[in-house]
Amino acid sequence: MVDGATRDGYGAGLVELGTSNPNVVVLDSGVSDSTRSKKFGDKFPDRFFNMGISEGDMVCTAAGLAQAGKIPFATSFACFLLGRSMDQTLVSVAYSNTNVKLVGTHSGLAVGEDGPSAQMIVDIAYTRAIPNMTVIQPADWEEARQATIALANYKGPAYMRLGRSNVKGIYDPKTYKFEIGKASVIKQGSDAVVFATGSMVEETMKALEQLGTEMNVTVVNVSTLKPLDEATIIDQVGKNKIVITAEDHNRIGGLGDAVCEVLMNHQICKPFKRIAVNDTFAETGSASELYEKYGLSANHIVRALREVKA
């Protein structure tokens, strides 16, 4: 297992793609060192385009490159990528169904000290609601690397959400195989199931360490948020008594709502609780401080499991 930020796994995946697929091109909007797209640019400068602080132009250029047969990865901080290019994303990428991969890094409260204007907590809601858009959020370095390669082989618009902070490695590169549209059962239990995504997978595993033998908890990594792996969700809800969702995102429009939709559509009723940002802006602080204050830390997951069990 490789410890590291998912943005670093993305950079490694891009370099692999640059070697194996000459049609892959990468665009960035002036933050390539931070997003790790610079790793691709350093090795393949003729296929790397630094568009400057002009995210709308970057997305439209990516759409044009896709129409010309290229496989473009358009990269920036999540708050800038979607916040400044929604019209271009809707029309030039999604409506036109172009083969553009949008990659937003530094997402959620985990971006920490950059403050609330940079803490993108609504991007899953944005992108899940866009027709034709696939939405991916890897949980660790290895999954991010594999997801990057998988997206290059996938035909159609996609958004991948990545983090700045280092996370503990979960997957063994020798045995794990990422698939778009498939959730991953990390641990099987019978008392409760936690559907987690992104950095909240690590927080969930920390929560299990705190619980010890108190509860037998299933952990499911939902790395594809659209299309959702409904079969795994239904199966795991059936095997457990309690349902928890965990995400570094606003509680409205994210993973919690997505899982609720599945349960409602299939008329499944189980005790349910969401771990998410409670429809509020945060403030400047470290990721761990913000996770604790705004209800996302392992401590809050433990508390939620105990409250619902009671």
As annotated, the active-site residues are 55
Alpha helices (H) along the chain: 6-20, 32-35, 38-43, 55-67, 78-83, 86-88, 123-128, 141-153, 200-211, 230-239, 255-265, 287-293, 298-309
In angstroms, the CA 293 to CA 296 distance is 8
Joined tokens for residue 66: 């896709």
Q: Which of 107, 135, 123 is nearest to 227 (CA)?
A: 135
Q: Are 262 and 233 contacting, i.e. CB atoms less than 8 angstroms apart?
A: yes
- Residue 199's identity, in one-letter code, is S
Q: Which residues pair with 244 in a beta bridge?
A: 194, 273
Provide Rg for the chain, Cα atoms. 19
Name the pairing type of β-strands 134-136 and 224-226. Answer: antiparallel
Q: What are phi and psi of 148, to 5 degrees?
A: -60, -45
Joined tokens for residue 189: 């239990």
